[in-house]
Structure 1
Amino acid sequence: MRINVLQHTPSEGPGSIKDWSISRGHEMYVYHPYQFDGVLPAADQTDMLIILGGPMSPNDSDEWILNERTLIQKLLDQNVPIFGACYGAQQIAKTLGYTIGKAPAKEVGWAPVYLKSNAVPDLPEKLVALHWHEEMFEIPEEAELLFSSDLLENQGFVMNHRVIGLQFHFEPQADDVREIVVNDAQYTKGSLLKQSSDDILNHLVPKENKEVMFKLLDYITN
């Protein structure tokens, strides 16, 4: 399987998604459309699409952001597995015609999320995830609410056994968290989670996050 990854900032890479890809014997190709003149994979060369987070908004008018949604729509029409994290989940919802707007609260740091659906088997009822956002998506009518947090109901959705979007991050491992924080520590300001960059760095990445990431990716590819 060819997995095409859309990465949107140097500090937010695929993390444990790469580990999953290697363990399942897939090939991963990472694209950086924000940097390399909007280069994107072709739909007919995409067996699975991963859309990672970033500082931009789906409401921005950059041509490559619009072109991403054209690609997403083609893959939705073809029932290709798609996983989106943060901005990536917002792009999926925007492609389906739903609103992206300011969340009730800016969430930056570690906080629990709660399972709201049994669509994906064997997931824990509560997990602690890394949050790094202040926008949110509407849950598409075609989808099912998958996760909520204390500050935001719409934290994740699952659709048609092929698409999962999460507003938060299960994919970062310890090195990834360090990379995010040392480069974007100023973003913690104004977060209602009230965690400093040191607080975030000193929090151990829950081992179950990688296990759940694997289960989510297995679910949409099986």
Structure 2
Amino acid sequence: ILYPFGPGVGDEATHHEDDGTSPEIFLQENFSFFGHAYRSLYVNNNGVVSFGTMVPEFTPQPFPLPGHCPFVAPYWADVDTRLGGDVFYRQSQDPQLLARLAQDLAPAVPPGDPPPQPTWAFVATWDRVAYFGAASDKVNTFQAVLASNGVTCFVLLNYGDLQWTTGIANHGDPHTGLGGIPAQAGFNSGDDVHYYNVPGSRTPAVQSLSHRSNLGVPGRWAFRVDHFE
């Protein structure tokens, strides 16, 4: 379900730290999110891709978040890569990846609309990441992909194995990674009005994202986000 990732495809990685983040990443193409065009972003270890500023917060909050920056949250939770895992990212104009994205995004477009033909993508992957305070080897793997043709913009969320929902600072069990305040998935526009919560967010059901879909492909979700309805 995941697109290729890791050093072998030219990915960079964030530092192994608690609540870490990438440096500001300047994009080869503008990415429109809820009606605003952005030229840079941050990949945050805690399961968030943010525009404008980093998001080190480790407690997932329900959207909308007044006064908060716009961001994509594939799985916002208290990740600690000191205890295991990597957070990878890259921009890509690789024709093979773009062709696969076009194919995978086709079901996300209403009948009659032109099919997506992305010319640029940004891939962020959380590979086997551990949770804060973990007393187990449970890990999560998931991915957020931004894709654009310069006009229409999409986000794909891909979920591999999700074994935990909550770190101990959010009242999770150190041995199971469950309980407390579970992970949040969705979009915060930054305008206090527009947002989207993926069904199951901040409930134990968020762990089943890897088995559910809005495309009919278990573990994959896709959304058009330039003018999100």
What TM-score bracket applies, with the shorter chain setting the length?
A: under 0.3
Structure 1 or 2: more helix by fraction = 1
TM-score (norm 1): 0.27
TM-score of the two chains, using structure 2 as the length reference: 0.27
